[in-house]
Amino acid sequence: MRGFYFNKGDSFSSELGLSKDGLRLLAKQGNLEIMQQHIVKGAVVWLVPGESQDDLDFFYVHSGRIDIITDELNESFAPGDSFYVRDLKDETFLKVREDSDLVYVSTAPVFDDQAAFQKDLLNMVAQINRKDDYTYVHSRNVMHYSVKLFTALKQLCPAQRLEDMVVSALFHDIGKCRVPDEILKKKEALTGPEYEQMKMHTVFGAELLTKYYPEGVTGLVLRHHERLDGSGYPFHLSGDEIPFGARILAVADSFDAMTTDRGYNKPMDALQAAQELAGEADKYDRRVTEKLLEMVRSGELKLEGK
Ligand SMILES: [Fe+2]
Ligand SMILES: [Fe+2]
């Protein structure tokens, strides 16, 4: 019928027919888009300030549960609840408690960008997963710890964007895709040349990500093994040459490595690891390690699942 469009089951109105990785475009008129978004439990989702203060993003929770936790807000959204953002000041992180379906209405066109972004992200996560299980679980854990630490310390570095922190943490070791398996999975200590190759994962990672992400992301990936006293790699940067985001990554990365059973060293518990990192003020930013210790002690930060 002329002027009537519909979507049923998995089939879409011929006008649209668009479905990309969890995001479906249900209707569109001019800049207005109505979408359905499926988000799996634990996924990383955040709201970013719109380009114009007139843009509005509306979300209706159809199923599942979403929490929004910021300095000023602590709200949980269940089926039937909705929220919208307009003239948002800061990036806001959503915690997806259960697999969720949202109806998402945006007054600015977001579908193509969002869909492309999600697809790249998922492809890269799958790439790490195929390469080795450890790196995949490790990446997710480092992301969770980094976000927790960053959220608690954000006032120390207002210029650091949450979005860049999340993406760089999730992909900090993606360069390992280019390190040969016999080195990556070697149980014994690496030889000198092997270790040199392993160190290259920082450079490979930044190279791989350049196509998709800004310097704010690649710069952190490149520098996540630098240490304050200049003993890190690949550039032996020291002190102020290491951005705050990379310092957070360094702590989150080491914390996960120390508390995970990787077959050679007995894993530490969270408190032991946090104390040890706090004792290494020459290498790790004291503000970050002390926040970690405080959050472990208060139970605010717990070990992620392996
Ligand atoms: Fe690394
Ligand atoms: Fe790592």
Return d(Cα 186, Cα 201) in angstroms, integer.
15
Q: Report how far ligand 2's centroid is from the alpha carbon of 253 (Å).
A: 5
Q: How far is CA 27 from CA 20, 24, 34, 39, 80, in A?
A: 14, 9, 5, 19, 21
Q: Within 13 Å of residue 10, how many CA atoms lie on the same side as its CB?
A: 2
Structural domains of the chain ordered from first start:
19-108 (2.60.120.10), 132-298 (1.10.3210.10)
Q: Which ligand is nearest to the CA of 234?
A: 1
Mean pLDDT calculated for residue range 18-23: 61
How confident is the prediction for the chain on average, in pLDDT?
86
Mean pLDDT calculated for residue range 138-147: 91
pLDDT surpasses 50 at 14: no
Mean pLDDT calculated for residue range 3-13: 65
Least confident of 75-84, 178-187, 216-225, 288-297: 178-187
User: At how many degrees (to 10) do helices 244-259 and 286-298 cross?
Assistant: 50
Q: Which contiguous run of DSSP H or E holds residue 251? A: helix 244-259
Q: Which ligand is nearest to the CA of 225?
A: 1
Q: Which ligand is nearest to the CA of 253?
A: 2
Q: How confident is the model at residue 11 (pLDDT cuts 50, 70, 90)?
A: low
Closest CA to 269 of 281, 260, 280: 260
Mean pLDDT calculated for residue range 54-77: 89
Return d(Cα 38, Cα 24) in angstroms, integer.
9
Q: Which ligand is nearest to the CA of 169?
A: 2
Q: How confident is the model at residue 163 (pLDDT cuts 50, 70, 90)?
A: confident
* Cβ atoms of residues 224 and 236 within 8 Å: no
* Cβ atoms of residues 6 and 13 within 8 Å: yes
Q: How far is CA 287 from CA 160, 273, 284, 301, in A?
A: 16, 16, 9, 16
Mean pLDDT calculated for residue range 204-230: 93
pLDDT at res. 64: 95
Closest CA to 205 of 170, 234, 173: 173
* Cβ atoms of residues 37 and 99 within 8 Å: no
Closest CA to 145 of 264, 251, 2, 285: 251
Give per-residue pLDDT as tens, 250-303: 999 999 999 998 777 789 999 999 999 999 999 999 999 999 999 999 999 989
DSSP string across 157-191:
-TTS-HHHHHHHHHTTTGGGGGS-HHHHT--SPPP
Q: Report how far ligand 2's centroid is from the alpha carbon of 225 (Å).
A: 9
Q: Report how far ligand 1's centroid is from the alpha carbon of 201 (Å).
A: 7
Give per-residue pLDDT as tens, 84-101: 999 888 777 788 888 899
